[in-house]
Structure 1
Amino acid sequence: MASKLMAGHWKKTGENLRGSSVLGCGRWRNYGADPNIAEIQIPADGAPRMLGHFACRSSWSCDHCARARVSQTRGWLRGALMPALSVAGLSGALVTFTIAHAYGDDWGDVVDRLYKAFSLFDRRMAKWYRKVGCVGKLKALEAPVGANGLHPHLHVLLTYLAGTDLAELEAAMRSAWSKAVAEVGGKVNEHGFDFKADCVNDYAAKLETSHELASHGTKKARGKGKLLGQLLDRAAIGDTKAGAEWLRAQAALGGKMRFHAGGLPKKLGIPCPSEWEEEPADDEGDGGEKPEPVRITYPQVHHLKATGTTGRAGLAAILRSARSADPARVLRMVAALCAEVDRNDTRAGVIQRFADWTDDHFQRIVDEAGARVLRPDEVPAYIEAKARGFVLGMGEAHGSEAKPAEVAKAQAHDAGHGAGTPLDSSAGHDKQGCSVFEPKRAIAPV
């Protein structure tokens, strides 16, 4: 659904939002991977996932990558940060910062004011940080959407020497936050500042802190608010307001980091959150080796077509069908999705896709470019032809025999992409080796 919303927004406004790489997440193949096949891996004790495919790693636009990022950070909190704090004789306070906002406000301005206020606040608290023995902070941004619009707020884990009296620190922080928000043109209400001391001193507190700092999906937005993933779910069943709010939130959040640990990991001698890997469970007591994961492969040409933005949420449907680890079931799903795309194309008047073009069609557009100025709607096809190795003057003498292997390989890279308007104004081949074009309107081969 995220891909559909992003693609629809570009076609309507021409604006390429940050996080639009979700369009290729789980679709494009990575460098070094066989470009001709799509591959699914199903572990014996885990969920199916695409193997050798591009991952966008967007914490805001891609629900799948966001869940993975949050899970990784939560594991880092429990497995690396909190044990390291205990060894160093440190504790932590969980501090929450937010500002007042309304639905009609510019959501991007609300986010910017929050960050500007925190930057002012953070600089002014430097002496207090040193006084309590702070060695660093972990900052986490959350942004549900409610009746008052986007609700961005920061959860900050502030470290300090265990046993320190924090009464004066809390009062100073509360006052400094109110002043900083006022200076950037914002307001603070009774929910604008919250301080919880000693949040890593016992097991229950550790669990609560990990959940508050790194939660996704399992944590409900307060009141009637919805998380971004919940907005996507609503948009998928036809809630146009939810879809519009999701896009508005994407534009506001831009490239803001979901988590930021600064120099804290280095000072404690532990990995960064993004480098953290959970240690595999010890299966020695099971009395046998762990079974090899099941792998299912099918043509990448079909995968690109089935997971495009003109049909259903194809990638999710394919991965759901793979839970049974039955290759036949997966192939039936892929075939059904491809057939649905063909039906949609017929209704929309899309005549052909680049994968269906013959070599003569590509050669003709290259030769036409040498004889006259191409129309704007012909440029994508020309770029595609050049990328596949066609050059001016090959003509009938060389034509389709010039580079058959390279052309066939390139077509396999890019099946399912139309000869319409490019999704990005800088049309060309992206770093995953796939064309950036998607079908938009009917354009017959030249």
Structure 2
Amino acid sequence: MLSVIRSIYPSHRTASCMWSRVSQDTQIQVVRDVLTLKARYSGLRVCGSIWTCPVCAAKISERRAAELAQAITQARNLDIEVALLTVTVPHVRGESLADLLAALRKAWRSFTSGGTSGRLRRAIGLVGTIRNTEVTYGENGWHPHFHCLMFFRGKLVDLEEIQRAWGEHWQKCAVSAGLREPSTEHGLTIQPGDYAARYVSKWGLEHEMTKSMAKKSRVGGRTPFDIADDFADGKDVEKNAALWREYATAFKGQRQLYWSAGLKKLLVVEDKTDEEVLAEEEERPAELVVQLTWPEWTAIRLRHRATLLMLAEESPHLIRGWLNDRVEASYKSIPPPPEPTESASPLVLAAVEPPGQVEILPADSVSSPQRELFPLPADPPADPPADPPADPLASRLARWKARRELLYRRALGIHP
């Protein structure tokens, strides 16, 4: 999936996640957690995006699920009730996702502030909320909506009346924010008790950012990762790429969960950022399985990362031979040079930084004295020799083999 996202949005920070080293001096390692025995990579950059990265989203969502479960348990210990509130608005195809989100957040601010909101909150003894944003794309375009866990000390004695009063308030706030008027039936719903606790799993381990990796379809629209899957399958490639980029741009900088002020302290939940959650993953005790050279990493990072982790967990003794095979395969995949022409300049191999990268340039285009040049063998003189001329195909093949060998040695850091 990361490779798909890299193809859709190569300039996005997620494109470098689990792809590039933290720095030139950082060693890339495969380590195995001493508690879970799960293998992971160390020394690679992580993007920390809950919205666009399936790797980071899985790790962060798992932590957030634990926090929500802890909050609900602690609330019940304090005789605080929990209910799930959902708000949505009508939408049509062609509306900008960024504009819809901005208007939805504006409506929510009005909904949770002011005199009417205060009266409604006091009526049920509301002590705090946790809000989550979700979005799908369907026949009518983007459909962003909010889910909110409400923690309150009162009782939802007349749920139908409470939902009617809160629904009318939401309708007024949505229209005031420039949105279409929500329906009375679906604009605002409240689900009490155990339903809210069960819904926690959707925000955590089964959050749509993680669940979408299994590509489970949903009634009423596609999740953003469904869109990426359709792009990978070659369906409406340009449209799906544009939708994904619009989504990634609209959600940039947004948090997954918004806790109301003081609620974490009341429910004894530690406040940690997404970056801190990912850093904890790196700090967990682990044993070294294998340390990768840069040529080894470049040989496996595109298609074989998952295979290496599987070997690290199940058959670590096979890793070294498997890596050697992958590097040899990538070395053999270097394409042969184009057919030479009479006007072509002699080729030279120029060593450039960073180490492990090389470029083949025409000799007359290389002028920097700071580059280390390795000239290839020159062509035989134009005058015909006394003996019969050598086979030109064999001559070209010999020069190509010499160049390939030099390129491989240079990639491994072996100077001639």
Report the TM-score when normalising by structure 2.
0.67
Q: Distance in 2 between matches of 1:334 and 1:226?
A: 41
Identify if the C-alpha distance between structure 1 residues 313 and 178 changes in structure 2 by more than 3 Å, giving closer, same or farther.
Answer: farther
Matched AA of 1:97:
V
Matches within 5 A, 1:131-170: 131-165=123-157, 167=159, 168-170=161-163
Alignment of 1:367-406 (within 5 A): none
Residue type of the alignment partner of 2:170: W
What SS does structure 1 have at the residue aligned with 2:112? helix
Q: How far did residue 109 of structure 1 move? A: 1.4
Q: 1:128 Cα shift?
A: 2.3
Aligned to 1:270: 269
- Shift of the 160–54 alpha-carbon distance from structure 1 to 2, 3 Å rule, reads same
> Is 2:170 the partner of 1:177?
yes
Deviation at 1:92, TM superposition (A): 1.2
Partner in structure 2 of residue 88 of structure 1? 78
Q: What CA distance in whole angstroms lies between the structure 2 residues aligned with 1:146 and 1:243?
A: 15
Segment drifting more, 57-66 vs 119-128: 119-128
Alignment-derived partner of residue 250 in structure 1: 248
CA contact (8 A) 1:234 1:243 kept: no
In the alignment of these two chains, the number of paired residues is: 334
Deviation at 1:325, TM superposition (A): 3.8
**Equivalent-residue separation in structure 1 for 2:231 and 2:317 (angstroms):** 30
Deviates more, 1:185-194 or 1:175-184: 185-194
More strand by share: 2
2:45 alignment counterpart: 54
State the 1:66 CA deviation: 0.9
The Cα shift of 1:247 comes to 2.3
1:27 corresponds in structure 2 to 19
Report if the CA contact (8 A) 1:144-1:221 is conserved.
no
The residue type equivalent to 1:191 in the other structure is H
Q: What one-letter code is carried by the residue in structure 2 that aligns with 1:267? A: L
**Contact 1:113–1:185 (CA<8 Å) still a contact in 2?**
yes
* 1:156 Cα deviation from its structure 2 partner: 0.2
**1-structure distance, mates of 2:336, 2:154:** 68
Structure 2 residue corresponding to 1:111, chosen from 79, 96, 101: 101
Letter in 2 for 1:151: H
Residue matched to 1:128: 120
User: Which amino acid counterpart does residue 302 of structure 1 have in structure 2?
Assistant: E
- Distance between the aligned counterparts of 2:320 and 2:173, measured in 1? 55
Q: Secondary structure at the match of 1:235?
A: helix
1-structure distance, mates of 2:45, 2:35 = 23
Query: Hey, what's the Cα distance between the residues in 2 that align with 1:260 and 1:367?
Result: 54
Deviation at 1:221, TM superposition (A): 5.7
Per-residue CA deviation, residues 364-402 of structure 1 (Å, 9 max, x unaligned), is: 75979xxxxxxxxxxxxxxxxxxxxxxxxxxxxxxxxxx
Contact 1:58 1:65 in 2 (8 A): yes
Paired letter, 1:232: A
Q: CA deviation at 1:274?
A: 4.9
- Quote the Cα distance in structure 1 between the aligned partners of 2:251 and 2:173: 21
Q: Are residues 357 and 336 of structure 1, via their aligned partners in 2, closer, same or farther at CA, if it must alter by over 3 Å?
A: closer
Q: Deviation string for 1:11-39 (max 9, x for gaps)?
A: xxxxx5xxx222232234457x9613333
Q: Report the residue type matching 1:195 in the other structure.
A: I
Task: Return closer, same or farther for 1:243/1:126 CA change in 2, 3 Å cut-off.
Answer: same
Residues 102-138 of structure 1 show CA distances to partners (whole Å, capped at 9, x for unaligned) of 3322122122222121111111313422342222111
Larger Rg: 2
Alpha-carbon contact 1:143-1:227 (below 8 Å) kept: yes
Note if contact 2:26-2:43 (Cα within 8 Å) is conserved in structure 1: no
Question: CA 1:166–1:273 in structure 2 vs 1: closer, same or farther (change >3 Å)?
Answer: farther
1:83–1:365 CA distance, 2 compared to 1 (3 A): farther
Tell whether 2:251 aligns with 1:260: no
- In structure 2, give the amino acid aligned to 1:156: C
Q: What are the superposed Cα offsets for residues 290-327 of structure 1, whole Å, 9 maximum, x if unpaired?
A: x97562221145325643xxxx4454454345443425
Which of residues 190, 199, 210 is equivalent to 1:195? 190
Q: Distance in 2 between matches of 1:317 and 1:149?
A: 38
Shift of 1:75: 1.5
Distance 1:221 1:131, change over 3 A: farther
C-alpha spacing 1:72/1:325, structure 2 compared with 1 (3 Å): farther
Per the TM alignment, residue 166 of structure 1 is displaced from its structure 2 partner at its CA by 5.4
Which whole-Å deviations, capped at 9, do the CAs of 1:335-381 have from their partners, x for residues lacking one? 63785598488799x998743468xx9x975979xxxxxxxxxxxxx
Deviation for aligned residue 1:155: 0.8
Contact residue 71 and residue 268 of structure 2 kept, 8 A:
no
Unpaired segments ≥5 residues, structure 1: 11-15, 200-204, 278-290, 369-414, 417-446
Instruction: Give the gaps of 5 or more residues in structure 2.
Output: 278-284, 339-348, 372-410
Once residues 335 and 89 of structure 2 are traced to their aligned partners in structure 1, the CA distance between those partners, rounded to angstroms, is: 47
- Quote the Cα distance in structure 2 between the aligned partners of 1:112 and 1:327: 54
